[in-house]
Amino acid sequence: MLKAVIFDMDGLLIDSEVISYKCYKKLIESYGYSFTMDDYVKDYPGKQLKVSLQFIKEHYHLDYDIEEKFQLFHRLETQFMQEDGVALKKGAKELLQYLKDHHYQIALATSSLPSRACHILDMHHILSYFDEIICGSDVQRGKPYPDIFLKACERLNVLPSEAIVLEDSEAGIQAAYDAKVPVYCIPDLKQPGEDYVQKTQGVLASLLDVITILENM
């Protein structure tokens, strides 16, 4: 019996991946390297920021302080969000209200910082829908490791088989699959590769499609 729905945030619940790309682009191009959307889509969605900053440092053979660039990234992100805003994905509020009306537990499992996640959810007046918020700082290993989804099930007091995960990234799909939580993918910037599609319960066009699936369960 399904008892809980676990949401990713960036690229799934909010339309923020383009902003993240612009932040990484500004950082990497400041060192004289080009950085395209294809580069971003290949290696970055779904990963913890500090993991990605370490990857950049090693990949481009740069000498910088991770914590310093971590703070820079968040300053850039705040600037871009103030300039461009960050929208909810299609069907987000409708799905959250449906889940609340039908007494499902709702959790957020995001690689983001707690302060950032809560600020964005509160900005869109949806923070109160979530029974639990699990962030990258709550687990030792971020996605694609299963830790964050196992922690979400533990916090919600449900078995992995009693929950579903909604994800947009391959890293998130892998994490849910290894946690043995059934996962549906709603792609954002990148369609998942066929090997990742095989690990999902299905690839959906929008969050509204989740309501249809739940009604037919």
Instruction: Please compute Rg for the chain using Cα positions.
Output: 17
Active-site choice (10, 147, 168, 188): 10
Q: Which residue has the tokens 């929208």?
A: 87
Query: Within 10 Å of residue 167's Cβ, how many Cβ atoms?
Result: 32
CA distance 164 to 151: 14
Active-site choice (8, 15, 168, 188): 8
Active site residue 15: no
Judged by DSSP in three states, 145 sits in: coil
Nearest to 111 by CA among 83, 72, 151: 151
Active site residue 8: yes
Which region, left, alpha or beta, applies to residue 196 given φ > 0 means left and ψ of -120 to 50 means alpha? alpha
Cite the active site residues.
Answer: 8, 10
